[in-house]
Amino acid sequence: MRVVLVGQPNCGKSALFNSVAGYKAMVGNFPGTTVEYLCSPITLSQKHFTLVDLPGIYSLSSPESEEVTTRRYLLREQPDVIINVLDASVLSRSLELTLELLDLQVPMVVCLNMMDEAGKKGIEIDREHLSQDLGVPVVPTIAVQGQGVSDLFNAALVAAEQRTKGKVFFFSQDIEKPIAELQSLVNKKTAAGLGVSTRLLSLKLLEEDREFEEQALAIQPDLTGPLPSLRKRISDRHGRSAEMVIASERHALAVNLFEHVAKVRARVPKPRREQVDQYVMHPLLGYLILGFILLSLFSLVFVLGQGLEGPLLGLFDKGAQYLNAFLK
């Protein structure tokens, strides 16, 4: 069984991977590229699987090498389950990638990581409500502290066994109608040959995804005719390219989903210790504060020493006189 971690950069994937893989991790390269990924054999609840940590990506539609190679891996290697790691403190932005992953129709679990940071920002997330909306399990974690990690992987293993696939989110009619028209023209064998559904292939073609377009037209050249007109219909309607229109609607879906499952309350005040730390740990102010503390300590020692010197010496003199008298 192969479990894959997918998420945006700085979402805590590496901390999550290291919490279960440790020293057993192996570094590999995607064939023909310099893009690296991590993998490790894992045993959990007497079940064995391979955990793969793919590069952090913002989208499956970007032409960047990390995005392209990650998407190729997901389509060609066909993992048993995807763990979509989200930074809960920036949930609305993170959900855009989640919506794209749901289109792949691969068993998936959503990991709401960095819940402590979300709490500091006053973000309260209804986990069960989000799970219902997405159609997949949602597990809160704080990976750096190990909280919720075992629950997450147990949920992933169950999702893989039960083939739990999430819901597909639909766009406005201005986009769905061209998708449906193109979908009726796309041969099922064409989509199957690329490892995707006819709907997802139609969507990627309308998004002007170069790799999908080259591969699809090589298999089914008759799509060359209707494709430009369908894209033009979307762009004429909105005054922007079809790619930008679809990206904007996906962003709106993510924001609406966030507003549906989360509340943002007043920020929790930082603990006094953290308030002090931001000054004493400052790269410049920290040294000045340290110097001031040391100078204050030295000054305190000398001032107290001068004040106590007379009484202490007098006390010692009296003690010496007493001892001399006693010994005589």
Per-residue pLDDT tens digits for 177-191? 999 999 999 999 999
Task: Please say if the pLDDT value at position 269 is more than 90.
Answer: no
Predicted confidence (pLDDT) per residue in 150-161, tens digit: 999 999 999 999
Q: What pLDDT band is residue 59 in, cutting at 50, 70 and 90?
A: confident
User: Which pLDDT score is estimated for 30?
Assistant: 43
**Would you say 83 and 5 are in contact if contact means Cβ atoms under 8 Å apart?**
yes
pLDDT on residue 29:
46
Number of other residues whose CB lies within 10 A of the CB of residue 167: 12
pLDDT of residue 34: 40
- Give the model's pLDDT for residue 268: 59
33 DSSP 8-state letter: S
Consecutive H or E run containing 161: helix 149-162
State phi, psi for 297 to the nearest 5 degrees.
-65, -45
Percent of residues in the chain assigned helix, strand, coil, to nearest 5: 60, 15, 25
Lowest mean per-residue pLDDT among 208-212, 236-240, 251-255: 208-212
Average pLDDT over residues 257-264: 92
Residues 234 and 177: their CA atoms lie apart, in Å, by 10
What tens digit of pLDDT does each residue of 272-312 get? 777 788 788 888 888 888 888 998 888 888 888 777 777 87
Q: Which residues contact 321 (CB under 8 A, 6 or more apart)?
A: none
Q: Is beta strand 2-7 parallel, antiparallel or unpaired with respect to 81-87? A: parallel
- According to DSSP, the β-strands at 81-87 and 108-113 are parallel
pTM of the model: 0.77
**Which tokens sit at 309?**
């010197």
